[in-house]
Amino acid sequence: MWRWLLDRFVRQIIETGSLKVTYPDGSVGQYGDGTGTTVHVTLHQTAIIPKLLRDPDLGVGEAYTDGTLTIENDDLRGFMTIALTNGKSRNGYWTQRILNAARKTFRWLQQNNVMGRSKDNVAHHYDLSGELYDLFLDADKQYSCGYFPRRGMRLDEAQEAKKHHIARKLLIEPGMRVLDIGCGWGGMGLTLARDYGAEVVGVTLSEEQIKVAKERARAEGLEDKVDFRLQDYREVEGTFDRIVSVGMFEHVGVPYYREYFSHIHDKLTEDGVALIHTIGRAEPPGTTSSWIAKYIFPGGYVPALSEMMARVEPEHLIATDIEVWRLHYAETLRQWEARFTANEDRARELYDERFCRMWRYYLIACEMSFRHTGQVVFQVQLTHRHDAVPLSRDYLYRDDVPAEQRHAAE
């Protein structure tokens, strides 16, 4: 019966592409319209079939991680392409509609990121071995989307370009006080202090990250310019000329968006500028992948722009620039996965084979989500005043803009 139910389920989902499934009893199912390269999946245990039917997202991720579902030649990208490009059909299937409705109804429970729980959620992911992140991140340990204004850029180049693009949007000048919400291993804060003369307060909830960030500040002789703290942004006092948050907003949770932007409002000086860099969805509000929520980012959620702006507007903040990055994160993830795979033997020594399969699944699933679904990156520039930033975007791309034109108010 289980085999019949799954066959019927997959047949209604997969309309395009070519998917071959070998079932635990040795029987084979062919799905799709036969176009493209065939992806061959083998299910090794009957026990996983009910899980696949109940929650395909969670079931597939767990089965691949456990090795009870394998893909010929480990063609995860091919499998994800078929799964995600047939997403419209999947979401139209009645069981998926019920599951999505239930997730949306109760998503506030998954995103209940009060202070103590936020720290636990951060620790789940960011307090893994620091050496693990060294295996696949750039030298500056930027764990967010790189910026690829030119084809063929290497990861380190793209991450440097990202930091300086953000610095331009912040219109940093020497001596400005900057709050870095979610400072990670310190790369953004150190760049703003070293290259732009800013005085930075960086906060994170990760104990592993704060150790590295503080040591980097000491090693670069920037302790007098950068103050890295193990602190919730909600506990930071004082006001700042600039506020930057890169890759942290995904961990705030929809129930706390109003509170988040209230803190941005209160901590930003009257002529200040804030820049929020976050993964987003170019579609209506939704829910977090159940596999990602369980194994990778508990409490995380990728917002729709409408959800963000609905909480920005009551705080009387002005969105002076909104930029949408499309395939930049796909390329970032591709390079992360290539680096991880090249160093997988060391990752296996740090953890085990199951962890490596989980991490590879995470990186490739996210990459293909950016390639085939509405996943994007938003950069939202916020101010109190219309004239706090230049009236055109020329200042972002020109080195010859006169200093007197860099502020519209002057």
Indicate if 356 belongs to the active site. no
CA distance 61 to 252: 24
Q: Are 146 and 158 in contact (CB under 8 A)?
A: yes
Sign of CA dihedral 249, 255, 256, 257: positive
Any residues with CB less than 8 A from the CB of 294 and at least 6 apart, and which? Answer: 58
Rounded CA-CA distance 189/199 in Å is 9
Say if residues 247 and 144 touch (Cβ distance below 8 Å): yes
Of 145, 183, 356, 366, which is the active-site residue? 366
CA dist 241 → 158, 171, 173, 235, 266 (Å): 26, 10, 10, 18, 12
Give CA separation, 188 vs 41, 215, 225, in Å: 42, 15, 13
Q: By the 8 A CB rule, do 282 and 377 touch?
A: no
CA distance 143 to 252: 17
Active-site residues: which are they?
A: 366
